[in-house]
Chains A and B, each alone.
Chain A
Amino acid sequence: MPRIILRLIGQGILGLSINPWAQILTLTAVILVSFLVGLFLMAVTTLDHQLSMASGETSFQVYWRPGPDQAQSDEISRQWQEIQDIPGFLHGRTFTPEQALKEMESRLGRNSTVKDLTFIAENNPLPPTGLFAFSPPQDVQNLDYGIWIKDTSQKLWDLPGVEQVSVTPLRDELGQAWRKVNTYIMRPVIVFLTLLLGLIIGNTVRLALLSKSHEVEILQLVGAFNWYIRLPLLVCGAVQALAGSAIALVLLRFIHMQIRDVLMFPPLMLEIRFLTPEMILLMLAVPALMGLLGGWVGLKR
């Protein structure tokens, strides 16, 4: 029994060469669809990651007047302590002008010809800055969210020497919006594409069946069970699905390596994430399953 099944699977794989153009077309379609699904999933992963880092937080970027003297610098470091006592404070990062310069130097050093910034260190134009994350207190209702932001940023404005406070978009609301988009657009699109995959493969398998209808008829006449006739075709479908999604994954990985850092600049600071291992497994398993399923449906009259 296992030997027959192995032989039939072998037949299925060899069957790929019988009608190469039809197979190539199907494979291309499968690659395209898998690729699209992969892109969507990559977007989902990237944004999910971004939002999970920022969920529930609102960030305030505070700029002090540039070129502080020693006394002012001391005052600013004291204020940084003070900020931590504002209700809802989560975490913060602060940069003295020197630190900011160093940071900039190291960033530039990576991919710039300007290696040495010491010439501006004497007269550092960068302001002292801080990036502070706050979360709204639990008992504050949604309605008061805007007020809470205003209050908090007012507290920061009120610190002596502060020149500007900017609030990042409401990450929490962004998160909610994203979840909606994900539920109502991304998931249906992915489900649709997956069904499409099944249809494409089902159709090819059906065509393969029709193209060898003479052989199928003879097999039926000599007493072959339906699974005996269908298994090679199903294997053919599953192999196409698997090959198509594997190729799509390789393409995605390649593209990811090219574009990983394109959004990695200050206001966005977005690292495009590749699919998680679970997603990769799904991207391989689901099309193969859909190939089998589509094949099965295609073979039912």
Chain B
Amino acid sequence: MIEINHLSHNFGQHWALKDISFRLKKGEFLFLSGPSGAGKTTLLNLLFAALPVQRGEARVAEFALNSIKPAQIPLLRRQVSVVFQDFRILPERSVYDNVLLPLQVRGLSRVHSDRRVRAVVRALGLEKRSSLLCGELSGGEQQRVAVARAFVVNPQVLLADEPTGNLDAELSFRLMDLFKQFQAYGTTMIVATHSQELMRRHPEAKVIRLEDGMITGANWPGATLYPGLEQMMEQRRRTAPPQPKSTKQPEGAGS
């Protein structure tokens, strides 16, 4: 479903992603962890063609992103839903209308859409907010609207950037349960997160740790660690011997 080979990306002089390779099958669930600035958002942006592939290869839901034509991008995005760090919902429209939007764009009938929208809105506990304007909602509620909009179309792939960032622990766990339910329908998911707690609660999930644009850890063989990693670690150990923390094993790596 998702196949990344030697993907690198630079912004001017700065390499935000370095030689990333991994593959995910249909219905698999991946946590993308790593410190701020590691390149998580950049990687997700590449996966739904918000950024062009510069080096390496990427295939997502049967679309070869290296050679994708602008006219095909909407088709890709009908298979790939995204939940953004900053939500990207329309504040002047109601919760219902925001969730309806992807279905409207696809030209689905009103009756058919209505049922789906209501179901998803209920699943996210937003049914009482359904007719409120999104601009009037709390951050956590807006985030749930963004999640509802992503799931309403039954996507093949879901990319979520910090979807629990604005939720309290209880809500984050509920949201994760919901993600798990959709995973059962065959949706492949990549969730970028800082939350160790979340990853600890889902030990069955695949994990990639990104640091400074490199994969420095992964818990399954489908992902390839950064090729120069061993050397780099060695170098660091030699230059800074009194600091053991600099070679700390990444979260979930090696298990």
Contacts and interface: CB of A to CB of B under 8 A. Distances in A.
Interface in B62-98: 71, 73-78, 81-82, 88-90
Contact of A218 (B71, B78, B81, B89): B89
A215 B105 contact: no
A210 interface: no
A223 B102 contact: yes
B74 A218 contact: no
Contact of A221 (B75, B77, B104): B77
Contacts of A75: none
Nearest to A212: B90
A223 B74 CA distance: 4
B145 to A, nearest CB: 12
B112 interface: no
Nearest to B79: A223
A222 B77 contact: yes
Most buried by A among B74, B90, B149: B74
A218 B90 contact: yes
A7 B76 CA distance: 24
A222 to B, nearest CB: 4
Chain A interface mostly helix, strand, loop or mixed?
helix
Chain B interface mostly helix, strand, loop or mixed?
helix
A220 interface: yes
A222 B90 CA distance: 12
A217 interface: yes
B74 A3 contact: no
A223 B48 CA distance: 10
Most buried by B among A4, A220, A224: A224
B88 A218 contact: yes
A225 interface: yes
B149 A222 contact: yes
Contacts of A4: 107
B106 interface: yes
B101 interface: yes
Nearest to A5: B107
B90 A223 contact: no
15 contacts: A1-B107, A214-B90, A215-B90, A217-B88, A218-B90, A219-B101, A220-B77, A221-B82, A222-B77, A222-B102, A222-B105, A222-B149, A223-B102, A223-B105, A226-B71
Interface of B: 48, 50, 71, 73-78, 81-82, 88-90, 101-102, 104-107, 149, 153
